[in-house]
Structure 1
């Protein structure tokens, strides 16, 4: 693919993506562009293809058709660990924390993409290994302070309420120092106060750390409040893209969420 195919301002571009599972078409004909510095929302009913699209982008389920460009490079079909090395980090729809470990230890795991283990560093730990470990811990402590997790840094992660667990997952993604962050329903199960905190942290990650964000979320008040643009999916197809207020008013989007009868009743 020629270099001119990639937009100078786009961090992510997807062209004609399709992903099937046997006879089930999970995603088809999806075109997507996310510019640097955007918070881009991805919405749609359950089963609409949102997580499948993200899994295609991150290499978990490569698309059978289409191309994916990240920062101008073609990453179509690239293994997930190689995608992560290109400064892409994500959180998952279901909590993926490690019980039996502390908050700090869970967050430290996010530094794995920057680790350079070697026999020499192990044998000469005090001279080679320790300075590297201190540098990694310094990044983790900075993110702990950024997300206001100081009070629970040494607590076992399984003892935390879901709102704090979601914040720990965000911290683990941020310590990877991504330029592009994918958040898969980061506010699921939260009360209103916890959602507002998380929304603030997402905005701060963009504004203070220069991170571009793809946000999958069902809470439309949050999506319309913090996203620059959004895309709506239904049955794996794009049914609306643009400014949040325009997309949520789109009759196809309203119908996908409410159904025809409810739409007319409303």
Structure 2
């Protein structure tokens, strides 16, 4: 696949919940290697679109293609195994488990437990476990989590918890990474660290990234293109600074100039 080809295509995607029309014919095209931003006011449909892409809420209308293959209607674990990994708006780590064990959970698509593997663990199961741990150690090094690798996730700060969730997603060896507000709740220093780690992961692993974020400074700093949603519809799409400056986008965020009067 060449750099100019689209990895992800959403074609006229619509999703509703009873009388609430959360997405209204939204189309998105994300090219190989891009960092693509999704922005919009609360309730604009950003997370619903991501949930459609990752299989949590299949769209009632439209198509979603990943690397040319239609994925809407597939189960989330099938989509994850196919090369799309995600993080969540609210931290979704396994409490009571260590940082290392949480990151190892990202390898579940590659693990094939069986009675035979358990019976012959020293010769069979152990080799597979070492292989998975080696991969996880690479991710721990990339995201600089060595100092907390044995800590329980319950006791580490929110910024580190978000980094652990990113590490768990990366350990699944995705080709596309979907991040749902990865900087939410962070202070400025934690946010700068997370931006750096997202860029490092994207460059080191050759990832395509789709990111939802409310921090416009992050969107304009790292995204190649941006789609702005409002009330389930596309308002503007293009380079971040141009899309955010669109009059319709400004009106959606702060109201029309006439409204103030």
Question: Residues 257 and 31 (structure 1 numbering): CA distance in 2 closer, same or farther, change over 3 Å?
Answer: same
1:231 matched to 2:221? The reply is no
Between the aligned partners of 1:225 and 1:39, the Cα distance in structure 2 is: 10
In the superposition, the TM-score normalised over structure 1's length comes to: 0.95
Structure 2 spans left out of the alignment, 5+ residues: none
Please list, as runs of the form range in 1=range in 2, the aligned pairs for 1:130-149 lying within 5 A after superposition.
130-149=126-145
Partners of 2:93 and 2:178 lie apart in 1 by 17
In structure 1, the residue matched to 2:251 is 255
Aligned residue in 2 for 1:157: 153
Moved over 3 A (4+): 261-265
Of residues 93, 97, 110 in structure 2, which corresponds to 1:97?
A: 93
Aligned residues: 259
Match status 1:59 vs 2:55? yes
What's the counterpart of residue 116 of structure 2? Answer: 120
| Corresponding residue number in structure 2 for 1:174 | 170
Say which is worse superposed, 111-120 or 133-142, in terms of deviation.
Answer: 111-120
The structural deviation recorded for 1:264 is 6.4
Measured in 2, the distance between the counterparts of 1:263 and 1:111 equals 52
Q: CA deviation at 1:260?
A: 2.0
**1:242 aligned to 225, 234, 238, which one?**
238
Q: Of 71, 77, 82, which residue of structure 2 is paired with 1:81?
A: 77
The change in CA–CA distance for 1:262 and 1:147 in structure 2 (over 3 A counts) is: farther
Match of 1:197 among 193, 201, 223: 193
User: Under a length normalisation based on structure 2, what TM-score does the superposition of the two structures give?
Assistant: 0.97
Is the Cα contact below 8 Å between 1:255 and 1:263 reproduced in 2? no
Q: After superposition, what is the alpha-carbon deviation per residue over 1:43-89, rounded to whole angstroms, capped at 9, x for unaligned?
A: 00110000000001111100000001001101121111110111110
Matched, 1:25 2:21: yes
Residue 263 of structure 1 and its aligned partner are, at CA, apart by: 8.0
8 Å contact kept, 2:10–2:65: yes
Cα offsets for 1:103-161 (capped at 9, x unmatched): 00111100001111112111110110000000000011111110010000000101011
1:91-113 deviations in Å (ceiling 9; x for gaps):
00001011111100111100001
For each residue in 1:159-200, what CA deviation from the matched residue of structure 2 results, as whole angstroms up to 9, or x when unmatched?
011000000000000000000000000000111111111111
